Structure 1
Amino acid sequence: MGRRHLISLDDLDDDDLRWIVARGADYAAGSLDHVRPLHEAVVGVLFRKTSTRTRTAFSAGALRLGGRLITYGPGDLQENTGETAADTGQVLSGMLDVLVARTVGEEAELRAYAEQDRMAVVNAMSAGEHPTQALTDLTTLTRRFGVVDGLRVLYVGEGNNTASALALGLSRFAGTELHLRTPFDYGLAPDYLHRATIHAKAAGSRVDQRHDLLDLPEVDVVYTTRWQTTGSVKHTSDWRTAFAPFQVNSALMDRFPGALFLHDLPAHRGEEVTAEVLDGPASAAFEQAENKYHSARAVLEWCTGGVR
């Protein structure tokens, strides 16, 4: 059975991306409740940072698909005593079928784990990108709108790892628009913006970034994330002043009647979003959170040899 790594969305070709998104929607619809592609597989779950949704989604997903779990805390592996990530990956690959890992830095540690072909490695969030969140988001859009192609999304807030993954994923669907509106000095990292722009050119979609909320286009979805992202550090002391105009509130949502509101959670009501919006009729944030479980099952199936 083949093993596939998911470190970045750019590890997926277009067919794989669409397969995982559609498969996640199928799991959510309940049409695959009988499927057990992880029967007897052993899944390692390593989280060096806090997690509610992603850790639970992959743990529950693995169990529901017939797999078995080994969980590791931030101080459990011998990397803490100097063993290299590559050596750790080689050792674990002789015992595990999948490693789902949330690291404290960039992708390098995950790439080192993936220097073998016996154990699939899944990026459950790194500093630069949160690929499984984007797959969840695309699954949510599929469930709500039927298709992703042609959707228009306004992302408001910091250009963090959720935003970079969203840009890499949404830009590969034909005719989509992603309008990033971020505080100055807190935009999408140039490398991710460049890669998303290349995808957009190939797919006939659009990605743009500005640092104000002027002249907003019509959109189908408004998306934000919390301002204090896990693992991030603000580089200016008055960052709250810069972020304040980017709060998603009723005044902003009223500019887009009928638009869906998304948030990757956890949320801080009164900061990046008001309670009126998060808990209001336009919000699909908690449905989106549940979809992480359905999307995780699709990712695990794909990583362990699921065919499209």
Structure 2
Amino acid sequence: MNNHAARHLISTVDLSDAELRALVERGSELSRESLRSGDRLAGLVVGINFLKTSTRTRTSFSAAALRLGANIISFGPDDLQINTGETLEDTGEVLSRMLDLLVVRSAGDPGDLRAFTRQQRMSVINAMTADEHPTQAVTDLITLLCRFGRIEGLRICYVGEGNNTAAALALTLSRFKGVHLRLCTPPGYGLAPAALRRALAYAEESGATVTEVHDMDTPPVGFDAFYATRWQTTGSSKPDPDWRRTFAPFQATTALWDASPDAVFLHDLPAHRGEDVTAEVLDGPHSLAFDQAENKMYAAMSVLEWCARRI
């Protein structure tokens, strides 16, 4: 691919502030241009390895690679010899002799993806692990930038489980000056402590604020966007059999707009109408959820270009 060491995206923490901004601005540019074809990745081969189900992320990276002129090879969860005992390091070394970039969804330990990065030829992209969904955050910031023309100073209220999407959102929004992120998470289902500590540290440096509450008692006033996610995160389960009762107050309903009438609505999808969000909200005039889903392709294009050192 080039003479440089491979450039990876395993966590948004790996990105400098300038790199994060460049990814978001490039994705926004691609969205505005409605780019449908190109040759910026011509001659490259992208591996798509998804061990868990995916509609948007897998399709977005496949479409993005093809639209940028790359070829793709897709692997199913049972296709690689990892299943017969080959080490991740050996698998990564072999794939790096044949692929230029590898997009992986595991919904498991991010250490598995780090093992793939021990070779120096092939870029590795995290398409979701248990702790973080970095390309979803790039998508979300692209959507906000396209809607508001800025990210600085926005007020975002997230409602739901402190899952990998919430972690990625907190780890990126907290790096923009004046942003206020409020996380409303059910008791016992908050953001992972390490992710929250890191987000608070970023916020202290940038002048953002991040708060987490475990109830819906205080009406959200003056927010620019509300964000919800599926209650049952892909690839996970909950040990508490009564967890739905705990989550019930954290549904995105039209009541959220009583004190924030101009707010937009975001959702990483898939959504379950009647659980995490009502149909009136998801299908209503404030919803950007399906524009947000389209932006996953532009985020994927931006990330692929960046990892291939084409931006």
Q: TM-score, with normalisation over the residues of structure 2?
A: 0.97
Q: Answer whether contact 2:37 2:67 (CA < 8 A) is retained.
A: no
SS at match of 1:79: helix
- Compute the displacement of 1:33 (Å): 5.3
SS at match of 1:261: strand
Q: Deviations over 1:26-51 (max 9, x none)?
A: 11111755642211100000000000
Alignment match, 2:296: 292
Alignment match, 2:42: 39
Residues 1:227 and 2:213 aligned together: no
Q: Distance in 1 between matches of 2:78 and 2:135?
A: 24
Q: Distance in 2 between matches of 1:22 and 1:139?
A: 7
Q: Answer whether contact 1:157 1:227 (CA < 8 A) is retained.
A: yes
Alignment match, 1:9: 12
Q: Distance in 1 between matches of 2:61 and 2:290?
A: 17
- Compute the displacement of 1:217 (Å): 4.1
Q: Distance in 2 between matches of 1:248 and 1:104?
A: 25
For 1:202, which of 205, 208, 225 is the aligned residue?
A: 205
Q: Answer whether contact 1:54 1:292 (CA < 8 A) is retained.
A: yes
- Compute the displacement of 1:231 (Å): 1.3
- Compute the displacement of 1:114 (Å): 0.6
Judged with a 3 Å threshold, the aligned counterparts in structure 2 of structure 1 residues 20 and 211 are, in CA distance, closer, same or farther, namely same
For 2:150, which of 135, 141, 147 is the aligned residue?
A: 147
> Is there any run of 5+ residues in structure 2 with no aligned partner, and where?
none
Q: Deviations over 1:245-299 (max 9, x none)?
A: 0001111222310000000000100000000000000000000000000110000
Alignment match, 1:26: 29
Q: How much identity, in percent, do the aligned residues show?
A: 59
Alignment match, 1:283: 287
Amino acid at match of 2:250: F
Alignment match, 2:247: 243
For 1:76, which of 75, 79, 82 is the aligned residue?
A: 79
> Is there any run of 5+ residues in structure 1 with no aligned partner, and where?
none
Q: Distance in 1 between matches of 2:182 and 2:221?
A: 8
Q: Answer whether contact 2:52 2:106 (CA < 8 A) is retained.
A: yes
SS at match of 2:290: helix
Instruction: Report the count of equivalent residues.
Output: 307
For 1:188, which of 181, 188, 191 is the aligned residue?
A: 191
Q: Distance in 1 between matches of 2:256 and 2:37?
A: 43
Q: Deviations over 1:126-159 (max 9, x none)?
A: 0000000000000000000001111110000000
Q: TM-score, with normalisation over the residues of structure 1?
A: 0.97
Amino acid at match of 1:126: T
Q: Distance in 2 between matches of 1:197 and 1:117?
A: 33
Q: Answer whether contact 2:221 2:259 (CA < 8 A) is retained.
A: no
Alignment match, 2:262: 258
Q: Answer whether contact 2:176 2:208 (CA < 8 A) is retained.
A: yes
Q: Distance in 2 between matches of 1:128 and 1:275?
A: 29
